[in-house]
Amino acid sequence: MTPVSSDVAFTPAVKAIQTARGSRSAYARLESNGGFHTVIDETLTGFLAQVETAYLATATAAGQPYAQHRGGPSGFIRPIDEHTIGFADFSGNRQYITTGNLAENDRAFLFLMDYAHRRRIKLWGRARVVADDPELLARLIPPGYRARAEQAILFKVDAWDSNCPQHIPQKFDAADVASAIARLEERIATLEAENMRLKAIKDSS
């Protein structure tokens, strides 16, 4: 059978379990239509513009996995071209596990989360660290974001797919919640003032 993009996840072992558990036919239909997405289209670009939370998975040459949280303001992960996305790698605890893993094994996986709208996107590909390109780094640093970027990470997308919202807890950004509360408090104050005005009119009549 001709390989398709979803084979990056659906290995022969995975397909055997899908067959045993009754889900293989559904994913076979996906494969007949070409499998997962391979191009960064408007849907993925729009999602990236809103995402604030991501998890980057890498592995050593021996296959030992490691996952690390990546976060920033909305849109901190940006499309570079139709097959590549990138982000500034900010200073952290200086363990450099991801950087070391990518030095010997460029296979990587990104898990993008949008908790507020209960959406997630998975991306398979290959990543590399770019430490000597100030122009690229300046392009990727979010304007006004107060953090020091040590390097950039470029992620070449081999395949990507979205997930259903099942079991994703809905969480909201603290700033969005504070803004919503402020609007409600303002509305309450307006209504209370109007209530007092009407009460004064009634008492004087």
State the pLDDT at residue 200: 81
Sequence-ordered list of residues with C-beta below 8 angstroms from that of 48, at least 6 positions apart, any chain: 75, 77, 78, 79, 85, 112
**Cβ-based burial of 115 (10 A; exposed 0-12, middle 13-18, buried ≥19):** middle
State the pLDDT at residue 1: 60
Query: What residue segments make up the domains of the chain, in order of their start?
Result: 1-35, 37-163, 172-205
- Report the top-level CATH class of 37-163: mainly beta
Give the whole-angstrom CA distance, residue 77 versus residue 85.
Answer: 7
State the pLDDT at residue 111: 95
- Give which of 154, 156, 105 is closest to 131, Cα–Cα: 154
What b-and-e string marks burial along 14-37, b requiring 16 or more CB atoms within 10 Å of the CB? ebeebeeeeebeebeeebeeebbb
State the pLDDT at residue 168: 66
**With a cut of 50, which residues of the chain have pLDDT below it?**
none
Give the whole-angstrom CA distance, residue 181 versus residue 201.
Answer: 30
State the pLDDT at residue 100: 96
DSSP single-letter state for residue 7:
G
Give the whole-angstrom CA distance, residue 155 versus residue 86.
Answer: 6
Give the whole-angstrom CA distance, residue 94 versus residue 151.
Answer: 12
- Contact 125/155 with Cβ under 8 angstroms? yes
- Contact 88/141 with Cβ under 8 angstroms? yes
State the pLDDT at residue 197: 83
